[in-house]
Amino acid sequence: MTQHLAFFPAQEEQHTLNLLRYLMPHPESTFFFRAQSQALEASGIFKNDLLIVDRSATPHSGQVVIAYLRNEFLVRRLRIHHHEGYLEADDPRYHTVKLTDAEDSLIWGVVTWVIHRP
């Protein structure tokens, strides 16, 4: 199968891409986090990657979220099964957390973009 790439210069006279507007459609509810673990490497999120997080987005099962759990923030994939929420990592060394079992837990925001330096 042939792959095709669409590209354009970073600066064009007739069309300008506003990167901030593109990455942050809700700037008043957008925050940046730095990934601190290897929990989601299989999903392409590596330690020290910059995460763009929208607090106004409604979290859905399968999305990567920032959770506030036991006085700390962590990045995990949200899974909802039979009306119960779970925070899962790609790496089996990190245990799954059942949100109903966790004291002081909250889905803080949804990761909308990952900025990774190659």
Calpha distance 99→78 (Å, rounded): 10
User: Mean pLDDT throughout 89-108?
Assistant: 85
Which amino acid is located at 9 in the chain?
A: P
According to DSSP, the residues that pair with 66 across neighbouring strands are 75, 109
Nearest to 75 by CA among 104, 105, 110: 110
Tokens matching residue 116: 């990774």
pLDDT higher than 80, residue 118: yes
Classify domain 28-115 at the CATH topology level. Umud Fragment, subunit A (2.10.109)
Calpha distance 77→96 (Å, rounded): 10
Calpha distance 107→13 (Å, rounded): 42
pLDDT one-digit tens code per residue, 27-85: 999 999 999 999 999 999 999 999 999 999 999 999 999 999 888 899 999 999 998 99
pLDDT one-digit tens code per residue, 6-23: 666 666 555 677 888 889
pLDDT of residue 25: 87
According to DSSP, the residues that pair with 33 across neighbouring strands are 51
Q: Where are the domains of the chain?
A: 28-115
Instruction: Residue 116: count other Cβ atoms within 10 Å of its Cβ.
Output: 13
